[in-house]
Amino acid sequence: MLHNSFLARLARGNLVLQILAGIILGIALSIIAPAQAESVGLLGALFVGALKAVAPILVFILVAASIANQKKNQHTYMRPIVVLYLFGTFTAALTAVTLSFLFPTTLTLVSGAEGATPPQGIAEVLNTLLFQLVDNPINALKNANYIGILAWAVALGLALHHASASTKALFEDLSHGISQIVRFIIRLAPFGIFGLVASTLATTGFSALAGYAHLLLVLLGAM
C-alpha cells in the first residue's frame, strides 16, 4: 500500500520540481559520497537508454497512424505549419549564432569517435541521404535512422489510408500505447537526472558545473 501510494504521489507530482530535486540531490551526493555518486550513474544511463530506445518506434507509429487515420477532404493546415516551422527554425538559428558570439561558451566534451571523417562535398551528403531514405525499415529502427524511419512511416501511412477501419483503429491504439510508455519514461526523469548529475560531478568535479551553468543561462536567455 505504501509502495502504491509513493508511485501515485510521484505520478501526480510536479515534474519540474521533481527534476529540480533530483539535481539538488545529485549535487549533494557527489559532495558527500563521490564513490556512491559514480555508482548511481547507472540510473542516468538507463534513463537515456530508455529514451533512445523508445524514440524511433514512437516516431514511426505516430507518423504512420496520423497519415493512415486522416479523413478525406480534411483540412490539415499544412501550409501555415510549414511556414511557421521554417520561420521558427530560421529565428532559432539566428538567435543561437548571435548569442554564441555575444556569450562564447566552452565545454569539455567526450572526444569524438576515432576515424570519423566529415562528408567531402555535397555529392557525398546527397548520396548518404538517399541511401538513408531506402534503408531497411528494421535496420532504420535499430540504428535510429530517422530519415529512413520517416520515409517508411509516410509510405506505410499512405498505403493504409484506404485500409479497413479495424486496421486504422489498430494503429491508433498502438500510437496511444507507445505514448503511454513515453509518458512513463518521462516520469522517471528525476531519477535519471539525479544519476547523471551525481556521476558527472563525481567524475569531472565542479569545474565542469560552471561551464554548464553558463550554457544554461545562455539557453534560458535565448528562450
What is this structure's pTM?
A: 0.72
| Confidence label for 114 from pLDDT (cuts 50, 70 and 90) | low
pLDDT the model gives residue 68: 87
Residue type at 156? L
pLDDT the model gives residue 75: 64
pLDDT the model gives residue 79: 72
User: Which comes out higher in pLDDT, residue 86 or 113?
Assistant: 86
Domain boundaries, the chain: 14-71+122-222
pLDDT at 115 over 60: no
The topology (CATH level 3) of 14-71+122-222 is Proton glutamate symport protein (1.10.3860)
| % pLDDT > 90, the chain | 25
pLDDT at 28 over 60: yes
| Confidence label for 15 from pLDDT (cuts 50, 70 and 90) | confident
pLDDT at 5 over 70: no
Kindly report the average pLDDT of the chain as a whole number: 82
SS (H, E, C) the chain: CHHHHHHHHHHHCCHHHHHHHHHHHHHHHHHHCHHHHHHCHHHHHHHHHHHHHHHHHHHHHHHHHHHHCCCCCCCCCHHHHHHHHHHHHHHHHHHHHHHHHHCCCCCCCCCCCCCCCCCCCHHHHHHHHHHHHCCCHHHHHHCCCHHHHHHHHHHHHHHCCCCCHHHHHHHHHHHHHHHHHHHHHHHCHHHHHHHHHHHHHHHHCCHHHHHHHHHHHHHHHHC
